Amino acid sequence: MTKLTKLARSIWPALVLTVLLVAASLLSLGASGSTAEIITEMMTRIVMVVGLYIFVGNSGILSYAHIGFAAIGAYASAWFTCCTLPMVKPLYLPGLPDFLLNNAYPFEVGLLSAAVASGGVAFVIGIIFVRLAGIAASIASFAFLAIVYAVYGNWESVTAGTSSISNIPVVVGPGIATMGAVCVVWVAFAFQSSRYGFMLRASRDEPVAARSSGVRVRHMRLIAWVLSAVVAGIGGALYSSFMGILTIDNFYLTLTFLTIAMLTVGGLQSLSGAVVGVICVTIVTTSLRAMESGNWLFQLPKGMQEIGLGVIMILILIFRPKGLLNGREFTLPKRRPPQKA
Amino acid sequence: MAYFIQTLIDALSLGSLYALAALGIGLLFGILRLINFAHGDYITIGAYSLIVPSTAATTTVFIGGWHTVPLILAVCIIVVAAALLSDRFVFRFLRRSHPATLMVASFALGYVIQNVILAIYGSRPKSIGLWPQLSRFLVIGEIRLPILQLVVISSTIILLLLLTLFLYRTRFGIQMRAASDDFMMARYLGVRADFVIGLAFAISGLLACAVSLLLVTQTGVLSPTMGLGVVLYAFIATVIGGMGSLTGSVLGGVAVGMASSFLQAYLPPDARPFRDAFLFGLVVLLLVVRPSGLVKVKGIEERV
């Protein structure tokens, strides 16, 4: 019994989040189509934000690059899984190699390629990135986002440039998206409970002490960087297979802002914060959007969704800088330890 | 040869713009450790203040139609006010926060400003002709020098000289440099923190105003994200210049602008759309060689 409690206590945060996510996805059963879509979209966001959290939360370095990785994953997956109509690829993406041009592969292959592509790019970039100090690293990551945007926006022969790739098979619904979100939560939890996670957090909180205790900070950062890019890439692939249409404009500043806002609102420093942040921001933006369209008691002017989100984020940073969860995980309520005689 | 000289002038004028923007960012970073993502939006505010607020497709000039001196004054006042207000209502509450928190807050503030502009003026880019007399050319032999670019370069040099004089020869300038060197110690020695920070925001606003006027004269286009395009390069400039060094910011800005212009001029046409990728590639190479930038600042690294 005590063994079981011990086990439960050690994996409690991930268990709570799993239950939370499954409960949220159950809302989509029997609900209208638009609710199911909102929930699916939220789950794909959770995958991206948890990806972002794996690096940002554990290393303490803010990254703007992860939506870039999501874009890389989304395009890699689209190259394999596209399209429902066989003539689309030769027509719009003539630059693809032959094995991609004339074949459409199943969704699983797409996910795998997303992981490999974003992870590979992250590894190469990461070797340089981890050498930079905190703030400089953040700015470099912003430059990386701009590079991805510039390259994918101009590389007409394989990305269709600024127009979109359509006819991507729509295979992701609430079920698959939730499964993805739950898996990713467990991956992030496993990482942060591993020795690598602990060493990285040690270097975040006490850089000098960590280094002098033998933590190889750059190695730890690189591991987290690649893992988080892989997760973000998978998030991008899920998103494109949910939308069925892919354009680079969806993977730039707006989504970057949204994901960072989600992570900040919940709290940068805990996995529970990342997930709760996505859920809360989704609720807020969805209701603001409903108010904008006038389906509410009163109508808000256009643009309030973005402005409102920005203001909420600033207020949270001022009044609750560690986010709604204050940097903590969900924990099992503690019973008082038995008194020893 | 003529092509080279013209490219060089282009490069210097673009470099000047980036240097001014980078300086505005570097100044605040030195004192507050704030990477101000909203700096680009100060530039946008300055540009949009030239026209009458409306979402209509045609633009009606407002301040943009005034005489030169009142025009510059009015735009400066508006941009400086925006910078001071952002300090008063956002950053003042975050004085003790971690630099990463400050950066996220400024990112959020920039997002809010952008969307407010979007809501007031609409998302369509607008065209405006500011100071058309500057778009003539000066012809010397084979070389055609655009007057505007000479104006950009010379006004940058004048601004830099004035700023240097201010920082080294006046009481408040010296206080600002002291605060940027060691903020706590400066406060112990009687430097008023909020005053110096306010001053830094005001100067940063002035620099943003200069960038915005020069940029609008050059491109003639207003769009809600116009400032972001400039500050992205300015951020890169502050990093490769060495974070926290004002000289570094200027050097970095000039370097980024020149690299960008020369790549644009000498890359094969097929590769030109990927200019930014090459540019950032160069930046990354530079950072491999010198991770702390061209000018290394001691105070930035944590002392043990």
Task: Say yes or no: B162 contacts chain A, CB-CB below 8 A.
Answer: no
Task: Say yes or no: B290 contacts chain A, CB-CB below 8 A.
Answer: no
Q: Name which of A150, A155, A317 is nearest B276 (Cβ-Cβ).
A: A150
Say if the Cβ atoms of B284 and A135 lie within 8 Å: no
Task: Say yes or no: B243 contacts chain A, CB-CB below 8 A.
Answer: yes
User: In the numeric block, which tokens belong to residue A82?
Assistant: 């596209």
Distance CA A38, CA A35 (A): 5
User: In the numeric block, which tokens belong to residue A13?
Assistant: 């945060």
Question: How many Cα atoms are found within 13 Å in the side-chain-facing hemisphere of A195?
Answer: 4
Task: Say yes or no: B299 contacts chain A, CB-CB below 8 A.
Answer: no
Task: Say yes or no: B195 contacts chain A, CB-CB below 8 A.
Answer: no
Say if the Cβ atoms of B101 and A321 lie within 8 Å: yes
Q: What is the DSSP letter of A165?
A: B
Gap from A214 CA to chain B (nearest CA, Å): 17
Chain A residues lying within 8 Å of B88, measured CB to CB = none
Q: Quick one: closest CA in B to A57, which residue?
A: B100
The count of residues in chain A is: 341
pLDDT per position in chain B (304 positions), as tens? Answer: 778 888 888 889 899 999 999 999 988 888 888 889 899 999 999 999 888 877 777 777 777 778 888 888 999 999 999 999 999 999 988 888 888 888 889 989 999 999 999 888 888 888 887 777 777 777 777 777 788 888 889 999 999 999 989 988 999 989 988 888 888 888 899 888 888 999 999 999 999 999 999 998 888 888 888 888 888 889 889 888 888 788 888 999 999 999 988 888 888 887 787 888 888 888 877 877 877 778 777 655 555 5
Chain A residues lying within 8 Å of B97, measured CB to CB = 317, 321
Q: Name which of B111, B225, B291 is nearest A132 (Cβ-Cβ).
A: B291
Q: Quick one: closest CA in B to A319, which residue?
A: B93
Task: Say yes or no: A207 contacts chain B, CB-CB below 8 A.
Answer: yes
Say if the Cβ atoms of A143 and B104 lie within 8 Å: no
Chain B residues lying within 8 Å of A60, measured CB to CB = 100
- Three-state secondary-structure class, residue A247: coil
Gap from A166 CA to chain B (nearest CA, Å): 24
Predicted ipTM of the assembly: 0.84
Task: Say yes or no: B103 contacts chain A, CB-CB below 8 A.
Answer: yes
Q: Are B152 and B261 in contact, with CB atoms under 8 Å apart?
A: no
pLDDT per position in chain A (341 positions), as tens? Answer: 578 887 877 888 888 888 888 888 888 777 777 888 889 999 999 999 999 999 999 998 999 999 999 999 999 998 888 877 777 777 777 778 877 777 788 888 989 999 999 999 999 989 888 888 777 888 888 888 988 988 888 887 778 777 788 778 888 888 889 999 999 999 999 999 999 999 999 998 888 899 888 889 899 999 999 999 999 999 999 999 998 888 888 898 889 988 998 998 888 888 999 999 999 999 988 888 888 776 666 666 777 888 888 898 899 888 888 888 887 888 766 665 666 55
Say if the Cβ atoms of A154 and B274 lie within 8 Å: yes
Task: Say yes or no: B118 contacts chain A, CB-CB below 8 A.
Answer: yes
Say if the Cβ atoms of B232 and A143 lie within 8 Å: yes
pLDDT, position A326: 80
Helix/strand/coil percentages in chain B, nearest 5: 75, 5, 20
Distance CA B232, CA B32 (A): 20
pLDDT, position A118: 95
pTM over 0.95, yes/no: no
User: In the numeric block, which tokens belong to residue A106?
Assistant: 């199943």
Distance CA A239, CA A42 (A): 10
Sign of the torsion formed by the C-alpha atoms of B18, B19, B24 and B25: positive
Residue from B104, B112, B238 to probe the interface with A (highest A Cβ count within 10 Å): B104
Distance CA B136, CA B141 (A): 16
Q: How many CB pairs under 8 A join A and B?
A: 124
Spatial neighbors of B232 by CB under 8 A, at least 6 apart, are: A142, A143, A146, B40
A316 alpha-carbon distance from chain centroid:
21
Q: Are B107 and A142 in contact, with CB atoms under 8 Å apart?
A: no
- Helix (H) or strand (E) holding B120, with range, is helix B99-121
Task: Say yes or no: B252 contacts chain A, CB-CB below 8 A.
Answer: no
Say if the Cβ atoms of A306 and B111 lie within 8 Å: yes
Q: Are A50 and A275 in contact, with CB atoms under 8 Å apart?
A: yes
Say if the Cβ atoms of B280 and A139 lie within 8 Å: no
Task: Say yes or no: A320 contacts chain B, CB-CB below 8 A.
Answer: no
Distance CA B278, CA B280 (A): 6
pLDDT, position B147: 84
In the stretch 216-255 of chain A, residues with CB closer than 8 A to chain B read 253
Chain A residues lying within 8 Å of B292, measured CB to CB = 133, 136
Distances (CA, A) of A195 to A160, A208, A218, A229, A301: 43, 18, 15, 20, 50
Chain B residues lying within 8 Å of A139, measured CB to CB = 35, 235-236, 238-239
In the stretch 32-71 of chain B, residues with CB closer than 8 A to chain A read 33, 35
Q: Name which of B225, B239, B274 is nearest A136 (Cβ-Cβ).
A: B239
Distance CA B77, CA B67 (A): 16
Chain A residues lying within 8 Å of B302, measured CB to CB = 207-208
Q: Name which of B93, B111, B273 is nearest A318 (Cβ-Cβ).
A: B93
Say if the Cβ atoms of A134 and B273 lie within 8 Å: no
Distance CA B295, CA B290 (A): 9
Say if the Cβ atoms of A307 and B115 lie within 8 Å: yes
In the stretch 261-280 of chain B, residues with CB closer than 8 A to chain A read 273-277, 280
End-to-end CA distance of chain A: 23
Residue B196 amino acid letter: V
